[in-house]
Structure formats: structure tokens, C-alpha cells
A and B are shown apart, each in its own frame.
Chain A
């Protein structure tokens, strides 16, 4: 059916404006990262007059960005692996078995998502300090503590999404596997997990993104050696200068891994949200 001109024109105008709005910061990020310091300190210029790639080299010197990068990778990676693994078992149980307390469990998991992060910040802080005092295990300021903390966001979400994915894998498949001699775990790993791989990947990407972008806990619960990118980026502002060109270059560098991963896998994420949220 041919859409009327009014629709086509409104579509053109709206989508153009929206694209400008969305891409404006991206343009500022890219163009400013290619300017020398004096050009980002003065009046804003739409086009760089002195094109330079120096900021991309300087970012590693001004702050130990590589260390922060490694910390972020370890913390986000470990949080992702842990939450996805644990969520696979839990979601399988919820999707495939009827048991007492199933409703309570799913409702609890769902409702923890609505709690403000700030609610957990103080108590987790106190718990980590206490555990540190009692056992000498320094959770506060350590990567381990941060990983554990990040499970607060990623685990409920992973469980919730994976239940949706596992439900969409026909039960006959793993029943057939059991008839063929697989145990329940065999059925899980040989049938359900392979069939739900896109979903698992999407959940993993999401969990990684959340941990990679988290600011609140990272700023309270890290120290000099465990600082993540979220906090480390603040290091480009000194008392005398704000190295905006380097901040922009560093922002771009830390964004690339997640944006690339996200755009590659967004199709799966859309399917996952349909299965999880829309139902």
C-alpha cells in the first residue's frame, strides 16, 4: 500500500532530526579526539583545524589506561561468565521443572530489578568492610568484591531472559534426549544450551555491557590498583587542565569493544527482549 506524502515527509523529517540528535555526541567524540589540546580548550570548532592523532597515544601516558582496561576486562568478563553460568542452571530449573517455591523465586528475581542500586551500596560496603575485618579477605577495593557486586545487576536479568529463551526451546527435544539416555544435565548441555546459544550470547553481551558501563559501585569500591575505566576516565581532568581531546579519544577507545559487540549481536538481543519482556 502506498503511504501518503504526509507520512513520507514526516518520516523523513523526524528520522533526520533523530539521527542528528543521536550522532551529535559521536561526532563530537570523534572530531575532538583528533584535535590538539589548545583547540579543545578554546571555542568549539566543528572541523578540526590541526588534525592530529597524538591524543590516541597520550591517553595511555596521562593515566594508566591500560591497567584500567585490564581491570575492566577482568571484572566485566568474570561477572559475565559467573552470572551466565549460574543463570543457565537456574533458568533451566524454572523452565523445565515444577517445584514448590518456583513462583516465589521468579517473582523475587524479577522484583530485585526494581531496587535502586543505591539501596545495596551501603550494605554491601558494610558487609565487605566487616568481612575484611573478620577474615582479612579484602573484598572492599578488590576485583573480587566488584565482581560479586556486579552480579547484583546481571544475575537477575540473565535468569529472567534465559527463562524466556529456554521456554522457546521445545520440551520434546530434551525429553527425547532423556529417552536416549541423557541425564537432566546431559539434556541441558547437549540439547537446550546449543539450541539457545543466540539467547545465551545476547544475555552475555548484555551482562558485559552493564558491568563495563557501571559507575556507582566502581567509584566507591575500587582503589588505585583495581580502578576500572568508569572511574579511570576522570583522571584526565587535572587541576590545571581538562584534557578534553584525550577524554574523547579514551571514551572512543573504551566504547569500541562494547559497541562493536552490541551491533553485531543486536539481532539476538531484540529476539531476547521479545521473549523476555514483551510476553
Chain B
């Protein structure tokens, strides 16, 4: 709209003879300019995303073991073998993958749910201004700002069996257990991972919900108060419905991050997570780099991606339908 105005203003200044050529090259420049601006980004996206993805898909159809890594192009084709191995749930590889998948699903649902709950509660409690609000806001963002390895390694220290804070409190001080339990191996490790993951993840939910709360007009609360609605009713009737679009994006992002999380279990448990807390990313890493079976690892990655695409697609369709129904 404004561009045409500029064109009209500059056009009469040009000499009559030179005008057509100049205009053509000008138009060419105008058309190609966005692409020129995008070029570096496009090249990099191509290099760091698209090419690796294509290679990943190709490799998933190859029998790529340690013998072929130096020259992976020569690895023999495996057809669908890698996929067959991955989804053969009666054999060890497939069985372990399926178990890891279910562990990850349960873990993700719990972690995302708790992150959302804590984030929403904190954001709503901090919505009204009171003394110390700014300080609390800064404190609550600390887990988000700390580098994963520094924070998670501290949790690993706290969950040590003999010299950790957790066992000191529940065994030595409160006497809740007969002997100090293990937290980083065995069945408890699922719970340990959940605590750490929620600690690390909830501030993001807090940040986003806080941003969403800023967009709710104050008048809505005032009107509701005039009608006699109490704080709790206002939260239920105004805050929650207004947050719906924010929540939909937030839950999706939290889901993807949690489902794909590698760093937390890796720093907490090392290269091999205990079975109870064997998240899928670490499981694929383990299958690929410990056994050097890249073909199967790639097939697992592709299956994981397909699953994520499916979930995201279904989720987007469902939430957009909900939105349409509202309107």
C-alpha cells in the first residue's frame, strides 16, 4: 500500500528514456531482495536441517555399523530391516524401544501437567502486585537461566544415596525409611527424573502464562467484581478461559521439549539411564553410539519424528476445531 505511494512519488523524477529499464531492474531487485535477505538463512537451514534429515532418512534404510562409518555411502542397503527390528516388539531391541516409548509418554504427561500446574498457579498468584513480587519473579526464573548441566548435576548430588541432601532429610532427619533408598538407579529414578524435569521446566510455563495474563483486560475483572464474583470465581470464569489460546501453544511446546529431552537424563544418569527412566532420546543415543548401529538408531529417530508429527498434527486440528467452535 505504502510502497505504491513511494513509487508514484519517485517515478516522475526519472528521465523519460531511462525509465523503463530502470523500472525493470528495480522490479527485479524488489522481487529478488527478500530472497537475497533469506539466502544465508536458507543455506544454513539447508545445511543444518534439511540435508541431515535427508541423510538420516537414507541411513535408516542402510545397514550402517561401525565398519562403514568412515565411508557410510558404501554401507549395504537394508531395505526395511532397521524398521522391522525397531518395531519387532517380541525381540529385545523392539521390546526395549517400546518400553522406553511408554516410559517417555508417561513421563511427558506427568511432567507437562505438573509444569503447567505450577506455572499457572505461580503466574496467577503473581498477577496482582504485592511486596516482593519482583523478587519472586526473578527467583522463579533461576531454574530456567541455569545451564542444564550445572543445575542437574546439583540435583544428582542431592539424590546421592550416601551423601545427598534428600536421604539426609528423609532417612536421617525424619526417619521415614529403614535404609537410605537409591534414587539414581532402580525404580525410584523415574520419580527423580520427574522432580528434576519439573524443576527445570515449570519456569517456562510460568513465563508464557505470565505473558498471556498481561493481555487480559483489567475491565473484565472489574466488571466481574461488580457482579459479585469472588477471586476464585474470577480465576475460573475469566482467567482460565482467556488463557486457552496461550495454553494450547504452551502445552504443545512443553510436550515437544519434554518428549525430546536428552540433557536432563544424560546429566542425571550418565550415558545409560536406569530402565525405569530410560527416555527415548537417550535410548536412541544409547542404541546408536554404544552399539554403533547407526542404521537402527536412524530408523528409531525417523519413527520418533513420525510420531511427533502425528501428535502435533492431531493436536493442531483438535485445538483449531475447538477455536472455530468457540467463534
Chain B: minimal CB distance from A43 (Å): 6
What B residues does A116 contact at CB under 8 A?
259-260, 262, 280-281, 301, 304-305, 308
Residue in B52, B139, B246 whose CB lies within 8 Å of A278 = B246
What A residues does B52 contact at CB under 8 A?
119-120, 123-124, 127
Q: For A4, A97, A133, A159, which residue has the most chain B Cβ atoms within 10 angstroms?
A: A97
- Is A3 a contact of B128 with CB atoms below 8 Å? yes
Q: Which residue of A lies closest to B54 (CB)?
A: A123
Cα distance A14–B148 when bound, in Å? 25
Cα distance A273–B260 when bound, in Å? 21
Q: Does A59 contact B (CB under 8 A)?
A: no
Cα distance A28–B166 when bound, in Å? 11
Cα distance A116–B246 when bound, in Å? 23
B101-141, CB < 8 A from A = 118, 121-122, 125-126, 128, 136, 138-141
Cα distance A152–B41 when bound, in Å? 11
| Interface-side segment among B16-24, B69-77, B86-94 | B69-77
- Is B33 a contact of A184 with CB atoms below 8 Å? yes
What B residues does A213 contact at CB under 8 A?
146-149, 263
Q: Does A222 contact B (CB under 8 A)?
A: no
What B residues does A258 contact at CB under 8 A?
145-147
- Is B153 a contact of A44 with CB atoms below 8 Å? no
- Is B208 a contact of A273 with CB atoms below 8 Å? yes
A224-264, CB < 8 A from B = 229-230, 233, 244, 247-248, 251-252, 254-255, 258-259, 262-263
| Interface-side segment among A17-25, A48-56, A193-201 | A17-25
- Is A262 a contact of B141 with CB atoms below 8 Å? yes
What B residues does A41 contact at CB under 8 A?
163
Chain A: minimal CB distance from B195 (Å): 9
Q: How large is the interface on B (under 10, 10 to 19, 20 to 34, 35 or more residues)?
A: 35 or more
* 0/1 interface trace, chain B 189-227, chain A, CB 8 Å (1 if under): 000000000010000000110111011000001100100
Cα distance A112–B41 when bound, in Å? 13
What A residues does B128 contact at CB under 8 A?
3
What A residues does B260 contact at CB under 8 A?
114-118
What A residues does B211 contact at CB under 8 A?
270-271, 273-274, 277-278
What B residues does A129 contact at CB under 8 A?
69-70, 72
Q: Does B34 contact A (CB under 8 A)?
A: yes
Cα distance A1–B147 when bound, in Å? 41
Cα distance A46–B182 when bound, in Å? 20
Q: Does B174 contact A (CB under 8 A)?
A: no
Q: Which residue of B lies closest to A7 (CB)?
A: B231
Q: Which residue of B lies closest to A3 (CB)?
A: B231
B142-173, CB < 8 A from A = 142-151, 153-155, 157-158, 162-165, 167-168, 172
What B residues does A247 contact at CB under 8 A?
153, 157
Q: Which residue of A lies closest to B289 (CB)?
A: A220
- Is A178 a contact of B266 with CB atoms below 8 Å? no
* 0/1 interface trace, chain A 179-203, chain B, CB 8 Å (1 if under): 1000010000000000000000000
- Is B253 a contact of A277 with CB atoms below 8 Å? yes
- Is A122 a contact of B142 with CB atoms below 8 Å? no
- Is A99 a contact of B147 with CB atoms below 8 Å? no
- Is A269 a contact of B2 with CB atoms below 8 Å? no
- Is B6 a contact of A18 with CB atoms below 8 Å? no
- Is A121 a contact of B285 with CB atoms below 8 Å? yes
Q: Does B317 contact A (CB under 8 A)?
A: no
Q: Does B240 contact A (CB under 8 A)?
A: no
Cα distance A117–B208 when bound, in Å? 23
Q: Does A92 contact B (CB under 8 A)?
A: yes
What A residues does B138 contact at CB under 8 A?
263, 266
Given A120-B52, A244-B157, CB of A22 within 8 Å of CB of B297: no
- Is B44 a contact of A155 with CB atoms below 8 Å? yes
What B residues does A120 contact at CB under 8 A?
48-49, 52-53, 56
Given A3-B128, A155-B44, A274-B214, CB of A127 within 8 Å of CB of B51: yes
Chain B: minimal CB distance from A187 (Å): 11
What B residues does A151 contact at CB under 8 A?
44, 48
- Is B263 a contact of A99 with CB atoms below 8 Å? no
* 0/1 interface trace, chain B 13-46, chain A, CB 8 Å (1 if under): 0000000000000000001011101101110110
- Is A97 a contact of B41 with CB atoms below 8 Å? no
- Is A126 a contact of B44 with CB atoms below 8 Å? no
What B residues does A118 contact at CB under 8 A?
260, 262, 281, 284-285, 301, 304
- Is B154 a contact of A155 with CB atoms below 8 Å? no
Q: Does A167 contact B (CB under 8 A)?
A: no
Chain A: minimal CB distance from B221 (Å): 8
Chain A: minimal CB distance from B231 (Å): 5
Q: Does A136 contact B (CB under 8 A)?
A: no
Q: Which 10 A-B pairs have the closest CB atoms?
A: A123-B52, A90-B41, A251-B150, A262-B145, A93-B37, A213-B147, A44-B168, A116-B260, A97-B34, A123-B55
Other than the given A120-B49, A219-B266, 18 more pairs (CB < 8 A) read A18-B122, A43-B168, A44-B165, A90-B40, A115-B49, A116-B305, A119-B305, A126-B294, A127-B51, A148-B47, A151-B44, A171-B2, A209-B145, A229-B147, A229-B149, A278-B212, A278-B215, A278-B249
Q: Identify 23 residue pairs between A and B in the complex whose beta-carbon atoms are under 8 Å apart, listed by A's number.
A: A3-B128, A22-B140, A24-B158, A25-B151, A42-B163, A86-B41, A116-B281, A116-B305, A119-B53, A119-B301, A119-B305, A121-B285, A123-B51, A133-B70, A156-B45, A213-B148, A213-B263, A230-B147, A233-B150, A259-B146, A270-B210, A277-B253, A278-B211
